[in-house]
Structure 1
Amino acid sequence: MKVELFYTPGCSRCTAVQAELKVVAERAVHHLVWRDVDALEELDYAVELGVLTLPAIAIDGKLVFSSLPTPNQLREALTRVTGAA
């Protein structure tokens, strides 16, 4: 499973929770691929997924959060996707 956090450099909201969200995702999913995506460098990809606001999170190439989720919201979404209880 791949989780992508779309951000822009200098985004204080992104930086504040980025590490915490990554830890939550790594604990929820075995063999996780976490990718920090600079939306300015990969603008075409961000637009293709429908990213309109930052930070945003995509799971397996689908935009799941168009705004920053709480750690619990991310954990719940990953659990739904993996089918884990």
Structure 2
Amino acid sequence: MSVVSGGIAEALVSTALGIFVAIPAVVAFNHFTGKIETFHVEMNRASSQLVNSLFKIPELNVLGVEEDEVKVVKKGGAAYAAR
């Protein structure tokens, strides 16, 4: 019995150390994943606003059409011009 109990004790210590390391790692992962998602949403929103504002400036209108001729269509967070 003492031969088996030594192996069980070692396995329990290894499991406890693994959990001790894994829980903070999961918390940190979730924290940084949330920060990255927030950054992604903000960058997507800002880029959409930039593209939409560029369509309103006649000098920067690369399509060669007037503002009232362009219908801005959002697809996947980006803006596209459709006639």
Q: Which has the higher helix share?
A: 2
Q: Which has the higher strand share?
A: 1
Greater RCO, 1 or 2 (C-alpha within 8 Å, sep 6+): 1
State TM-score, norm by structure 1: 0.27
State TM-score, norm by structure 2: 0.27
